[in-house]
Structure 1
Amino acid sequence: MKLAILGTGLVALKLNEYLKNDGYLADIYSSRKNKKFLDYKELENNEYDVVFGCLDGEKTKEIYPKVKAKIFIDNSECFRLNKNCPLYIAGVNENIINKETKLVANPNCVAIMLASFLMPFSKAFKIKKVIVNSLQAVSGMGQKAKDYFLMERSDFEYFDQDVTPRFSLNGELIQILDNVIPLVGEIEKDGISHEERKISEELEKLIPNIEVATMCYRIPVLNGHTASLHITLDENFDKNKVLRFIETKLNIKYIEICSLKESLKNSEDIYATRLKKDPYCPYGFFITLMSNNITIGAAYNSYRAFKKYEESNKIL
């Protein structure tokens, strides 16, 4: 099978690792001048079975018309809200991919984690509203941000805690080390950030008639996203029944008390922790989800989409 990956960032490299471990060699396209990579100018001259998009939305819009492939599996926001493009959640809505599928998108990295819980849960329990607070790792901003964060750590250790700020917020340079930024993405006119809007809109596409309100924070962690959820149902419920459902029906590992570092030991799993009823809302409960944003939130989901497509086509 002939495969190609567009991009050479964190997600692209991890995806390529999955493919290589499975015995596949993919052509990798990049704007970087490197003999290991192909130039995007060559893309329209080559045909593929599967092309993976690991670029941002604007770059994807520019490059996609050159793609000649049986299926395009995209990680950007470019096609997510397109009514003709399904959003794929590994282990949840596998049936959206078949041998006729031409285009499929990964949701936002936080939305994948949330949908893995909410989609099956909403079929067993009627959800009225979900409030999400996401705590998002620095690697979610890409390789350059990851490098900057490691430089901040180095500054702290070797320059008597004198950290040079390298990140931009409202036109000013700030540091992320020892800091919490109550914003991910640009703020839009209504005060909602672009990241918050993406998560809500993508979940509403995946789960019709659900209300999702989000607040996103950037935290000084290299890898791993955390989401604290408050879920309101339409009737009173038994906490033990909810817990049994999570433990037996979801592709999620529940641990009563789980740290982010512990959850990252297995980068192909989503973890849930701290299930508790809301003492002031008999229909509500809290729960926390954790996962690796590079794998669960992007590369591993793309790889699983590829494996489902391969299975549907019975290509050996």
Structure 2
Amino acid sequence: MVLTVGEVHTGLLQHSTSLPPDDVAGILALVPGERVRRSTRPIPYAVSPEVLTGVDCPLATLSGRRAPGAGTAVSRALITGGHVLQASTRAVIEPASAGGRRRLPWSHYLTRPGVLEHRGAWSTDDLRDGFLAPTHAPDVLDLGAIATGLMDDLQLSRRLDAVRPFNTPRTRLRWAVVPPVGDGARRVELAVQDGTLRTLLLSGTPAEIPTIVELCEDLALHDWLLSTLLSLIDRAHVGGGSWARTLGRLRPAVDFLLHLWMPAARLDDGVLDVWAALEHRPGLTRQWNASVQRIRDQLAMATVTLLAREPAVAP
């Protein structure tokens, strides 16, 4: 059985303002001669050409045994709203197509871009659960390291002023797609592993993989937005300090985040059932809306308080 895995890292672009579209395209021009895909509706969004990274290392397994693997991983970068940078890396894991347990020359693997071949008999469940595990041994496949390297390189672009608008950590979405079983009902399992790592297990057909990749990138974006918004609210110490301090700490949410929340706006209809499942439980949009309303309530209360302090003007 074929297993598709990936990891998406999401963080704030190191630039003091929204990056202009031409600069976005310049940063994402990873491959000379290949175009950067851009759109402006419903929100500015751009995707780089894909790049390949050679991989020759053991694959993680839940059993702890090492599955020798070799091939290439596919990566791309995305910028949304001129503010949010993502790096997305993925690979299809398959049994070795030739040579059995023998490591083949690189020329063989380069003819199959985005495919990692494992040598030996390994179950899909063992490879899947090993990849999705929160921690990995240091010498096994680490798609996250590839994504991290891509993000770090892009943050060094001379088109950026390197001024961080506010401090917020990156988040990671590690995902795996397995073939449907039984009645073909979609499997959707999202887990929050810690403050920055989430794991997602989906079922899907090979034809759905391109749209599932976009789905995972969209989910990673909105998970980062929600996590960052909650962090800003927590750091604002609502009700525990002066209005000026509270509003100052909430201002980045208004300037950089609130207008970016548009889940599934660009997704194919074929994967909207996944978003429907996520909205049912854990209910990302419900939590987002409640948090946004809390910020707006703080702004309204601050306005009322300041108006009440103004001296009355004689008619």
* TM norm structure 2: 0.29
* TM norm structure 1: 0.29
